[in-house]
Amino acid sequence: MERSRLEKLQRLKEKNLAYPHKFQVSYEIGQIRSKYEKPTDRKEVSVKGIVKRISKLEDGYIVRISSKAGIEMLAMCNEELKTGEEYILKGNIGRYEGKLCLFSAKPVEDDNPLEIENLKAEYDLDPNFEEISLAGRLITLRSMGKAIFGHLQDASGKIQIYIKKDIVGEEAFKDFEELVDTGDIIGVRGKLFRTNTGELTVEVESFNLLTKSLHPMPEKWHGVKDVEVRYRQRYLDLIANEEAKKIFLLRSSVVGELRNFLNREGFLEVETPILQHVASGANAKPFITYHNYLEQNLYLRIAPELYLKRLVVGGFNKVYEIGKNFRNEGVDTTHNPEFTMLEFYVAYWDYKDLMDFTERLISHVLLSTVGTLKINYREKELDFTPPYKRYAYFDLLYEKTGKEKEFFLKDLEGLRKLAKDLGVPNADSLTHAKLIDKVFDVLVEDELWGPCFVLDFPKILSPLAKTHRQDADLVERFELFVAGKELANAYTELNDPLEQRERFLEQLREKEMGDEEAMQMDEDFITALEYGMPPTAGEGIGIDRLVMILANVDSIREVILFPALRRF
RNA sequence: GAGCCGGUAGCUCAGUCGGCAGAGCAACGGACUUUUAAUCCGUGGGUCGCGGGUUCGACUCCCGCCCGGCUCACCA
């Protein structure tokens, strides 16, 4: 804690001004901005302006340009402009932190450019001295002597405040100067106006310090870069780094739109146990915990699958759950020990119905969050316009190796040799199923860039999927691949309890042969199947990975608010 | 778990060959009533991740440990 701030807090306490219980706000910051700032639809325009200030970003420059009369806006530009020079800039009109901004701006010759005033008149409305009260964290302060400017911020946006000695009075002005720091949370009451440069601003008539920050804020220009601070103290990341905040707002709207879509399609949202007696439904190592009263070990679920299918047995024909799964495995850029999955099940559908449905679901999420089906990921385009390409599992392997399905399923030693030649680690000790999986991984997965379905997996990889109607070696299963990563996994569900028991037994044999991730037998689930589960299809979608793709980030930690880290 | 890279002021980062620990922002004092990465003048601020070792002398070289990043292995 910083000593000067503690001393200020002490004085606030003496004046009985510290930590008030309530401050009435008339708007959220983002609300008042959207009331007076119209959406821009990215129209291409040319604007005339004088360059006032240039700031370098990682990629290009952000430029403040001004009209002759001093009205200002921003421009994002890749070319280096000269301060003080007048340019005509052509670009797409948008907003950056609420301010009008010309994106992809390029200097051009144009005999009929707009004035900044024209754009402002169109998109930025006159607040007409509306009386409002707002609160937020004070993130910048610019003292001019007898007047002070600053910005208040919350997750919805930021807004400028203007504190004038004449207006707030001698004593309040002195209090502000002596007791308020950047980082404090303050409430203001006053009139909305626009400054000479055109920025929406609260002319403060009175203010209250609501909460003192006892630590200085991260640096305003560079933000917080240290990932240890960003992940362990995510609140600082959210305050200081606009990009980080945007990712989590995006994540929230993705999850919201998934719910909207599924609810509209007649699905029922349910919650199933996270503490389970049997860790099954996926191939993974579980976390083990202990329940004192029950006097037994429980597992944190590795998947909700077997419980959701029990609900289909119970007559809930369309169910879904969005929730955490827990897997006691490595941590890296695509794996966090707890991660969020959407799983849904539909009675009387098969996996082909699910492919069509997946295309509709993804389309809905993309259009309602990022607003387009074509996005850039890692410098390459991803086009989610349906239909996605569909490839049969063994066709992909045949293309790469010239070998047919029989080779992979029957010639274990030949397969083992192929795996070794491909450099698959521990090829000598892997089980048959693992070998196929690894070989597919090495040969094919990275190349599945555009969204595509891989379908008809070998049965030995899929203990819960129904045998293929045309080929007893296969199951009716598909995975959706995007950017070389598995994004969704789905199949026609195995609903024959006798066959399901055999498949579990096969898994137990795999476990004995050294596959630690082979599935556990779930007798209670088989009992449920014995009562009869209708023909059903089910699917799981990794929410974290979906958000990674939409946010164009390559680490799962960027889309999880508090990712798993070692205790410091 | 292995290999490589990193940890220096509240934040972002420099620190040469082993020779007094640096800048910008933030903070503190002062000027400034439409500024906006405000500007101008001045001041203070360090367990150089932790612990050993080498050396007259270590942020710097060596060893061990902690934390993180990337790559790999396991996994979605």
- The one-character DSSP state at A262 is H
The token pair at A345 is 């099940």
Q: Per this entry, what is the length of chain A?
A: 568
Give the residue-averaged pLDDT of A320-327: 96
Count Cβ atoms below 10 Å from residue A173 Cβ, excluding itself. 20
Dihedral sign of CA atoms A311, A347, A462, A530 in order? positive
Residue scoring higher pLDDT (A98 or A541): A541
Residue type, A95: R
Question: Which strand B bases fall within 7 angstroms of a protein CB?
Answer: 1, 10-13, 24-28, 31-39, 66-76
Q: Residue A120, SS3?
A: helix
Reported ipTM: the value is 0.90
pLDDT of residue A428: 85
The three-point CA angle A121-A371-A30 to 5° equals 50
Say how far A408 CA is from B76 C1', in Å.
Answer: 24
The residue among A73, A74, A50, A42 whose CA lies nearest residue A60 is A74
Give the residue-averaged pLDDT of A197-211: 95
- Asked whether the predicted pLDDT for residue A330 surpasses 90, the reply is no
The token pair at A512 is 């004995």
Instruction: Give the separation between CA A99 and CA A106, rounded to whole angstroms.
Output: 19
The residue among A447, A417, A436 whose CA lies nearest residue A474 is A436
Own/partner pairs for A552-557, CB < 8 Å, 24+ apart? A552/A375, A552/A376, A552/A377, A552/A378, A553/A247, A554/A333, A554/A378, A555/A333, A556/A333, A556/A334, A556/A335, A556/A336, A556/A339, A557/A227, A557/A231, A557/A333, A557/A336
Say how far A218 CA is from B10 C1', in Å.
Answer: 7
Q: If you write DSSP's letter for every residue of A361-398 in order, what string do you get?
A: HHHHHHHHHTS-SEEEETTEEEE-PSSPEEEEHHHHHH
Give the residue-averaged pLDDT of A210-230: 90
> Which range among A145-154, A279-288, A301-310 shows the weakest confidence by mean pLDDT?
A279-288
The token pair at A289 is 């915990």
Output helix, strand, coil percentages for chain A, rounded to the nearest 5. 35, 30, 35
pLDDT of residue A159: 95
Q: Residue A151, SS3?
A: strand
Q: If you write DSSP's letter for every residue of A166-218 in order, what string do you get?
A: HHH-HHHHHHHHHH--TT-EEEEEEEEEE-TT--EEEEEEEEEEEE--SSPPP
Instruction: Give the separation between CA A271 and CA A322, rounded to whole angstroms.
Output: 8
pLDDT in tens, A364-384: 999 999 999 999 998 889 999
List, in sequence order, the alpha helices (H) in A37-144: 116-123
Instruction: Give the separation between CA A245 and CA A415, rounded to whole angstroms.
Output: 48
Which residues on adjacent β-strands are paired with residue A540? A343, A489
Instruction: Give the separation between CA A444 and CA A456, rounded to whole angstroms.
Output: 15
Give the residue-averaged pLDDT of A382-404: 94
Smallest CA–C1' separation from A194, nucleotide: B34
Residue scoring higher pLDDT (A222 or A394): A394
Say how far A471 CA is from B15 C1', in Å.
Answer: 68
pLDDT of residue A476: 97
Name the residue with the least CA to C1' distance from nucleotide B45. A2
Smallest CA–C1' separation from A2, nucleotide: B10
By percentage, how much of chain A surpasses pLDDT 90?
78
- The one-character DSSP state at A558 is G
Say how far A400 CA is from B2 C1', in Å.
Answer: 31
The residue among A239, A202, A245 whose CA lies nearest residue A25 is A202
Say how far A336 CA is from B72 C1', in Å.
Answer: 17
Smallest CA–C1' separation from A147, nucleotide: B33
Give the residue-averaged pLDDT of A137-148: 94
Instruction: Give the separation between CA A527 and CA A232, rounded to whole angstroms.
Output: 45
Give the residue-averaged pLDDT of A280-291: 91
In the block, residue with structure tokens 């670009």: A91
| Average pLDDT across chain A, whole number | 93
pTM: 0.94
Instruction: Give the separation between CA A2 and CA A213, rounded to whole angstroms.
Output: 9
Smallest CA–C1' separation from A554, nucleotide: B70
Most confident of A110-119, A394-403, A423-432: A394-403
pLDDT of residue A482: 94
Say how far A221 CA is from B11 C1', in Å.
Answer: 9
Smallest CA–C1' separation from A226, nucleotide: B68
